[in-house]
Structure 1
Amino acid sequence: MRFYTVAVLLLFLVVGGCSKHFTNQPLPNQAPETFLTLVPDSTLRSTTSQQHLHWWGVDPDGFIKGYNISFDSLHWTFTTSNDSVIGLKLNSNDTTYKLFVAAIDDQGLIDPKPASLRYPIHNSPPVISFVFQSDVPDTTFPVATFQWNASDIDGNETIVGFYYVLDDTTNFANWKYLSNDINRVTLFKSDGLVEGAHVFYLRTRDVAGAYSQTIRMPLDTAKMWYVKEPKSDFLIVDDYKTVDAAASFYNQIFDTLMNGRFKVKDVWDIKDGWTETNRGRYMPALVTPTFTESIKLFKYILWYCDGNPQMDVAQSSLPAFKAAGGKIIFVTGFPQFPPDARGFGDFAPIDNVEPSSFKNFLFAKDSLVAVTDQTYPTLYRDANSTGYTFPRGLLPKGNARIIYHMGKSPQWATRDTIPIIMGVKDADQPSIVMLSILLHRFGGNPNGGIPNNVPVFLRKVFYDEFGVR
């Protein structure tokens, strides 16, 4: 019995010793395994075209050195990253993509069974809105600018363009296309802004063909805005907020001036509703191009201001108006502590205004007298009991032609040798004449009563200087 047991044990050892495998021999390289996630909760669902994708690999006998990624299992891209934000192109309103990821181990062995996952993409339509406080005024000349913001949750680059139309949205052929790098458009009479009521409609479209909601201007769906075409080549810009007789003063004069040459005119009140923080209710949101292009519809402007001229508006628009051949009479007062007035130099032949007023008040019969051209009439302050405060002289540029200075007075006798300049023009045949007075307050007469000399002054400028016939 003992021999039998020993014999069996020897036979087992012999057979076991004939095996070709030893415990210290390395095993063949094993392929890595790849894992892929869609969203943190791992639930397959429709989503947007911008995707944050995550993947990782496990190698039982080494480490992962990178990944091959593909959307068709034929064309692969190598990366060492474990995630990426990928924009999935939208070819229709709903698109399904399939992502393949194969881990690669340190020996270059690729997972033979790549991880894959379907991504159903639901396209979201773009969103569009008008820029805040860019509303069109309720009345304009045939120039109007519309500006907007647009976005798309699928990526703003998926927006292919914008479409707009005036008034009639029912005919697709009427819609005009704008490329996706444009965010505003200015329309003119040639674009359909003729006399009458109008509505501007706008929408945008993405690469999948989805349209945003159509928005309109005016925003109030019960309203339209009115376009009025110029009545003539003459415009009065009313930059005057003080409640007095200024408007009627100018209207009455121009009704008869030069045999009624300016009787037909337009008036643009840019101070109605104006505050220190808000534009007037008839002012467009953009001075350039809207206001500038609007005044360029005219040849001649009388721009009259109170003590707070809208410097930024004049500074932004009048150089272009002059460059287009326009002619301006610009009359303005100043507050007690005016802001930096060097901006006047952008359109008028002055460098600045004097740093302080030469007198707190002007009285009846205080005058402006011509400097060289004596065909300019003397202008006298009126006898109105309302005070005229803080008059201020001009500091002309070297090439300016001086028209007026203050007449001599005991009130500023110290300035007899240094005249107080109150009126200038920019050339012998000027494009602008500027007075630093409230012109309607200089309709006085040294002997009382009428006539006053303002009509003579205006005729001198328009007829002789501007060549109006």
Structure 2
Amino acid sequence: MIRPSAVLLLLALGLAACDAGFDGSASDNRLPETELSVRSTDLREDLGARRLISTVDVAWSGTDPDGVVAAYDVRSFQVDMPLAAEVGWARTTRRDSTIRLEIPVGASVADVVVEVRSVDDAGGVDATPARTVFPIRNSNPTLRLIDAEAPPDSTWPVVSFSLAAADIDGEENLAGIEIALNDTTAGYVRLPADVTFLTLVAEDPRATTTEATVYTGRGFRNSGISLPGFALDADNVVYFRAVDAAGAPSRTLRYPALDDEGSAVRPFYVRRVTSDVLLVNDVRGVPETLDLGAARDALALYGTANYDEWDLSATPQPIVNARFSDALPSSPDPTLRQTLALWDRIYWVSNAVTNTAVGNNLPRAATVMDLFFENGGRILVQVRVTLPTGTDTGGTNNAAIDILPLSTLISYPAGVTALRADSGTPVRPAEEVPGTGRTLPPLEAVAAVRTTLPYAVGPEDIPLYRMSFYENNQRDNVWQGPEVVASIRSDRRTALFALPLFTSTSPIYGGTSSEGGPLDALALMLDGLDFPTTAGRTARR
């Protein structure tokens, strides 16, 4: 018996003996051949006066008589600028591609050669590449502004635009987005072609004329580009256009656009910031409210003489299809986030916050107030507390509840549909307002209280006022739940004053001592939030 290893050895020896009787050399490698799917070698002859767009679909194939085609080399060049034999090739294993044929800058047409050569598994290349001349034309790009994200008619010096550029020759043919502010004679600045959202931010929001820094994307990236001539407390105009690789521009867009008579179709007024304090009128559906007047009076009593006002009240708030104020930026992030950070202190007066996040302005703002707080901002919210309605039954979708100094809204026990308080009900001071060493002045209802509710506070919240209520219309059924109607966070970041001050034109509360009334309470809460003052705070202490 012969072992397997011996068989292998005998076979090897036998093969060696056979080889010894032959002479010669291996045959030379035969080069592959290539074909394009476009059979014509010069499409100018086939198309006559017609031309193709600069992005073309090309397919190819190759054959190798003594092996296989492993790859293809592809290149293109202007017909009147031929390349050397081994210059400009790009290797691929694909058998088709969408190719953007370059048109010289400033030209509208070009004749471009596309060549493809096969590469076999031995590294040999087709010595006679397949070739076609493509007559092409350049198409101007297009650009449009997204109307749904246009700035408000009157806005603060953080202004965003959403836009969409396109190019029939292929998106890769876009070279950039160009923008000019108020004056095109000084030229445009160019942004990357992939910019679809940009924000102009005043470098000095308190100047009358300043530069605008351009930020791109919703991630708010500083482009390093500034535009001169940003006019504050004035109307502005922004010009946009897209430019392609051949230098062809889109139609120039003007914002705001002009009508047939040459007048702006809408205002574009940019306001100047004049103070560290912002008073927000968010009392919707009422032209001018006494509650807002009380806020102005409280600021004056406290000694804050200068402040900006932002009117969010003009947009109606329907029960069905609720909507945010038209005066708010359409994009919370980054536009509203950066706008709110223009101030150090905010006094927000509203008539609807806790009932729903849908269409209410403060819940929308609260989602992006992180930068305001990170910069040391503080806010006083003056609004009655009401229970959530609709789908937001637990208030869990309302970001305003997260920032306010309350832990939870109350819930009614079975059979309870409302809480009331009568005229004569005391509003009892609770703990001291931090930083002041004082409690709020005692108040007393001088009219029935039917439009606000008490709430519960958490361990980080300081109750400032408590008030007793009764259930439904039964005075003997005293409400046993939370009684807080004003509070402040222990970090003095936010404060809530939940007492509506007027019914029609009549006050609801009055003071019961020489310590003052509701305005004095509001002024002391401003003190607890360290609002700036030019006079009065030291004297009151």
What TM-score does the superposition give when structure 1 sets the normalisation length? 0.77
Aligned to 1:54: 59
- Letter matched to residue 269 of structure 1: D
* 1:328 maps onto 2:342 in alignment: no
Q: Is the 8 A contact 1:38 1:54 kept in 2?
A: no
Contact in 1 for aligned 2:408/2:455 (Cα 8 Å): yes
* 1:73 Cα offset (Å): 7.3
- Counterparts of 2:315 and 2:293, CA distance in 1: 21
Change (3 A) 1:268 1:364: farther
Matches within 5 A, 1:149-188: 149-172=164-187, 175-182=188-195, 183-188=197-202
The 1:144–1:87 alpha-carbon spacing in structure 2 relative to 1, beyond 3 Å, is: same
Letter in 1 for 2:96: D
Aligned to 2:521: 457
The answer to whether structure 1 residue 434 and structure 2 residue 488 are counterparts is no
Pair 1:369 & 2:428 matched: yes
Cα distance in 2 between the residues matched to 1:393 and 1:265? 30
Report matched runs for 1:195-344 at 5 Å. 195-221=233-259, 222-223=263-264, 224-243=267-286, 246=289, 248-251=290-293, 254-255=296-297, 258=300, 261-262=303-304, 264-275=306-317, 276-308=321-353, 309-338=360-389, 339=392, 340-342=394-396, 343-344=399-400
| Unaligned runs of at least 5 residues, structure 2 | 1-29, 77-82, 213-229, 354-359, 433-437, 534-541
Match status 1:352 vs 2:408: yes
Aligned to 1:118: 133
Letter in 2 for 1:250: L
Deviation at 1:422, TM superposition (A): 2.1
Check the 8 A contact 1:331/1:435 in 2, yes or no.
yes
Amino acid at match of 1:332: V
Unaligned runs of 5+ in 1: 1-28
C-alpha separation in 2, matches of 1:293 and 1:30: 65
List aligned pairs for 1:55-134, cutoff 5 A: 55-56=60-61, 65=69, 69-71=74-76, 72=83, 74-75=85-86, 81-92=94-105, 93=107, 94-102=109-117, 113-134=128-149
Residues 91 and 398 of structure 1, relative CA distance in 2, 3 Å threshold: farther
Structure 1 residues 433 and 235, CA gap change in structure 2 (3 angstroms): same
CA pair 310-352 structure 1, distance change in 2 beyond 3 A: farther
Identify the range of structure 1 (292-301 vs 360-369) with the bigger mean alpha-carbon deviation: 360-369
Structure 2 distance, partners of 1:38, 1:396, is 80
Aligned residue identity for 2:530: F
* Paired residues of 2:158 and 2:201 also in contact (CA < 8 A): yes
Q: Say which SS state the counterpart of residue 404 (structure 1) adopts.
A: strand
Instruction: Give the Cα–Cα distance (whole angstroms) in 1 for the partners of residues 194 and 179 of structure 2.
Output: 15
Pair 177,38 (structure 1): closer, same or farther in 2 beyond 3 Å: farther
Cα separation, partners in 2 of 1:380 and 1:244, compared to 1, 3 Å: farther
Query: Structure 2 CA distance, aligned partners of 1:443 and 1:82?
Result: 82
- Which letter does structure 1 place at the counterpart of 2:363? D
CA contact (8 A) 1:238 1:271 kept: yes
AA in 2 matched with 1:371: A
Q: For the residues of structure 2 that align with 1:382 and 1:120, how far apart are their CA atoms?
A: 87
Residues 1:156 and 1:367: Cα distance change in structure 2 (over 3 Å): farther
Shift of 1:63: 9.8
**Distance between the aligned counterparts of 2:426 and 2:138, measured in 1?**
74
CA displacement at 1:129 relative to structure 2: 1.6
1:376 Cα offset (Å): 0.5
1:382, distance to aligned residue in structure 2 (A): 5.4
**Residues 99 and 361 of structure 1, relative CA distance in 2, 3 Å threshold:** same
Cα 1:178/1:260, change in 2 over 3 Å: same
Counterparts of 1:434 and 1:38, CA distance in 2? 78
How far apart in 2 are the matches of 1:53 and 1:424?
71
Quick check: which one's helix share is greater?
1
Distance 2:476 2:184 in 1: 67
SS in 1 for 2:148: coil
Aligned length: 429
Amino acid at match of 1:421: V
Q: Is the 8 A contact 1:99 1:119 kept in 2?
A: yes
Q: CA deviation at 1:446?
A: 5.9
Q: Report the Cα distance in structure 1 between the residues aligned to 2:479 and 2:68, rounded to whole angstroms.
A: 91
Whole-Å separation in 2 of the counterparts to 1:122 and 1:375: 78
Aligned Cα root-mean-square deviation (Å): 3.9
Classify 1:185/1:95 alpha carbon distance in 2 versus 1 (closer, same or farther; 3 Å): farther
Mark the structure with the bigger radius of gyration: 1
Distance in 1 of aligned mates of 2:365 and 2:245: 43
Alignment match, 2:25: none
Residues 337 and 369 of structure 2 are in contact (CA less than 8 Å); yes or no, is this contact kept in structure 1? yes
Structure 1 111/433 Cα, relative in aligned 2: closer, same or farther at 3 Å?
closer
TM-score of the two chains, using structure 2 as the length reference: 0.67
Q: Are the aligned partners of 1:58 and 1:64 in contact in 2 as well (CA < 8 Å)? A: yes
Conserved? CA contact 1:141–1:228, under 8 Å: yes
Q: Which amino acid aligns with 2:245?
A: V
> Helix, strand or coil for the counterpart of 2:366?
helix
SS of 2:522 mapped into structure 1: helix
CA contact (8 A) 1:443 1:454 kept: no
Is contact 2:277–2:307 with CA below 8 Å preserved after alignment?
Answer: yes
Q: Which amino acid aligns with 1:74?
A: A
Q: State the distance in 2 between where 1:68 and 1:207 align.
A: 24
- Alpha-carbon shift at residue 395 of structure 1 (Å): 3.1
- Indicate the SS of the match to 2:333: helix
CA deviations over 1:393-422 (Å, ceiling 9, x no partner): 333232211112223657485545x43222
Tell me by how many angstroms 1:162 deviates. Answer: 2.2
Q: Tell me by how many angstroms 1:444 deviates.
A: 2.5
- SS in structure 2 of the partner of residue 37 of structure 1: coil
Task: For 1:460, give the aligned amino acid.
Answer: L
Task: Measure how far apart 1:425 and its partner are.
Answer: 0.7
Alpha-carbon offset, residue 212 of structure 1? 1.8
Counterpart CA distance in 2 for 1:399 and 1:388 is: 28
Residue from 461, 464, 484 that aligns with 1:421: 484
